[in-house]
Copies of this chain bind each other. A is one copy, B any other.
Amino acid sequence: MTDQKQKNSSREAFTQFLIERGLRKTPERFAIADKVLGMKDHFYVESLRESMERDGYRVSRATLYNTIQLLIEAGFVRRHQFDGQPAQYERVSPKEVTNHHHLVCRKCGKVKEVKDAELIKALSLKRYRTFQPEFFTLYVYGTCSTCQRKLKKSNG
């Protein structure tokens, strides 16, 4: 599926979601959804807001938070929060299994994605007695290459 086709089908799925929930199909909601569906990387609420403003579209924070919450419930977006940083959001295809995990540097806070199909598969097959799993997130904490280099330098 091309990016464009996937985006269109996501837009339709979001419309469906709004209908099922009996929510209104407002232009703000679609503008935000479109922007988010076009995001490649993780984003912050503020960066999303600025990005939309650059496109000449102003939305209030209230509506942004509200709509992101809907996108999470619809399964298009996941929320991450590392240490004291503001929340980061990540666009995902609905029903899609997690296909990567995150390396988080404890020194500088940088987050990197790594793919590991085998590991992911093993994790997604896990079942629990009474808990119904939907998806998972794996964070590996440690030191990134840049900070390792810095440490070596300062330690002699």
Contacts and interface: CB of A to CB of B under 8 A. Distances in A.
Nearest to A114: B128
A135 B103 CA distance: 10
A132 B116 CA distance: 17
B148 A142 contact: no
A112 interface: yes
A112 to B, nearest CB: 7
Number of copies: 2
A140 interface: yes
A134 to B, nearest CB: 4
A122 interface: yes
A135 B148 CA distance: 16
Nearest to A116: B126
A138 interface: yes
Contacts of A131: 103, 105, 112, 140, 142-145
A83 B87 CA distance: 9
Contacts of A143: 131-132, 134
A87 to B, nearest CB: 8
Interface in A122-156: 122-123, 126, 128, 130-145, 148
B139 A137 contact: yes
Interface in A88-112: 103, 105-106, 112
Given A81-B83, A133-B142, 20 more contacts: A103-B128, A103-B131, A103-B133, A105-B131, A106-B134, A114-B128, A119-B122, A122-B122, A123-B138, A130-B144, A130-B145, A130-B148, A131-B143, A132-B142, A132-B148, A134-B142, A135-B141, A136-B140, A137-B139, A139-B139
